[in-house]
Chain A
Amino acid sequence: MTGTEPFDDVALLVSKAAGGDQAAWNEIVGRFGRRVWATCRAYRLSQADAADVFQQTWLRVLENLDSLRDPARLGAWIGTTCRNEALVALRRAKRAMPVGQPWLLDRPTDPDDDPERPFLIADRDAELWAAFRRLSPRCQQVLRVLVVEAEDGRPSYENAAAALDMPIGSLGPTRGRCLTHLRQFLTEGISGAEAGS
């Protein structure tokens, strides 16, 4: 999704998997699985919906193995596919809600969301992570969606606005505000740590 994966390597995996090599397929799933999952979760799909979108994304990859124009760009293709599928799933969840129900941003934090996250985070990222977690749930979500949308360098603000259920025009100012808060918490966190040492 960042395009940093070694070119030949991914193209080779795709061609092996297209040739029927299960091990190559497993490697593809292993390599991109976390990012696909992160995308599902950024859109705040329930665990069950996220699992469905995850599975659906891989089935779409599977049926396109032979026809990918640029196999080296597999990561980007997977990312786009997953975001589109997540958006459709989200739209259906939204439709199922009663009129006027603030359905997304005000949902209680998913209890699955927090506890296991930090252990995968490297020390150097811990401060940024801690600062991020101090943001309001709304800011956290806005930044999550923007980060995922920005992944392949062509963020769709339309999709992000739809996913966040906010007017497209307020996306930029909200992002700016959230990033300001994030920087502020980051500075406080660092200076706090220095003061304490």
Chain B
Amino acid sequence: MNDPTTPDDGRLLARLGAILNDAEEPPADVMELARQSFTLRRLDAELASLVEDSDGPAASVRSVAVRGSAREPRQLTFQIVDEQGRDELIIAVQVESVGRRRRLTGHLAPQGPAYIEVRQPTVPKARGVDADRRGLFVIDDVLPGPMSLTCRRAGGPAVATQWTLL
């Protein structure tokens, strides 16, 4: 779209922006949680990026098309690539609502056993489940909000998924 903003419009919007940006103090508990999140930093795991999200920005056209239809499970794909650009690990997760909680059903590629931990800022301790020989795992009772999975496999470094808002 062409930008028909005149310099005057720009100035007025900028003034308005300055007001709106500073107008509201975030709630104290929200700020405190943000400060405390520093302890959730992981230096011991490689980061698997979110490369596909059925609710993500690239899905806008599609989500308009299904707007209002029954919610299909959200599909998330995390991926880590090695220095040669080859897939090292893919963690694919389907997110379903069960009441107010979420159930994560996932699989690993390449397949194989692993230990999967789920971390959430509002839950003090990480919980873990085993992925079976085919790399399949199910995690119940995950709370809405940010979450990250850590995948540990014999003989490889720990891999943590990018923080993702459920």
Mask, B130-164, CB within 8 Å of A = 1, is: 00000000000000111010000000000000111
Chain A interface (Cβ within 8 Å of chain B)? 1, 17, 22, 25-26, 29-30, 33-38, 41-42, 47, 51-56, 58-60, 62-63, 65, 84-85, 87-89, 91-92, 94-101, 116-117, 120-121, 125, 128-129, 132, 143-144, 146-148, 150-151, 157-159, 162, 168-169, 171-172, 175-176, 179, 182-183
What residues of A have a CB within 8 angstroms of the CB of B42 in the complex?
Answer: 63
**A52-B144, A92-B55 as given contacts; A41 in contact with B37, CB under 8 Å:** no
Taking a contact as CB atoms under 8 Å apart, the answer to whether B37 and A120 are in contact is no
Taking a contact as CB atoms under 8 Å apart, the answer to whether B16 and A38 are in contact is no
Interface residue SS majority, chain A: helix
Mask, B26-42, CB within 8 Å of A = 1, is: 11001101110110111
Given A56-B164, A62-B41; 16 other pairs, CB 8 A cutoff: A1-B21, A29-B31, A37-B25, A38-B23, A51-B33, A55-B121, A58-B37, A59-B37, A91-B55, A97-B68, A125-B15, A148-B20, A151-B17, A169-B1, A179-B13, A182-B12
Bound-state Cα–Cα, A63 to B161, Å: 10
Taking a contact as CB atoms under 8 Å apart, the answer to whether A52 and B67 are in contact is no
Interface residue SS majority, chain B: mixed
Q: List 21 A-B contacts (CB under 8 A).
A: A22-B38, A29-B31, A30-B31, A34-B25, A37-B24, A51-B27, A55-B30, A56-B165, A59-B148, A88-B56, A94-B63, A99-B67, A99-B69, A101-B68, A116-B25, A120-B22, A125-B18, A128-B15, A147-B13, A159-B57, A171-B1
**A38-B20, A56-B165, A151-B17 as given contacts; A95 in contact with B66, CB under 8 Å:** yes
Nearest residue, chain B, Cβ from A58: B34
Q: For this complex, into which size category does the number of interface residues on chain B fall?
A: 35 or more
Taking a contact as CB atoms under 8 Å apart, the answer to whether A63 and B63 are in contact is no
**A35-B21, A117-B24, A169-B1 as given contacts; A63 in contact with B9, CB under 8 Å:** no
What residues of A have a CB within 8 angstroms of the CB of B117 in the complex?
Answer: none
Of B22, B24, B34, B53, which is in contact with the most chain A CB atoms at under 10 Å from its CB? B34
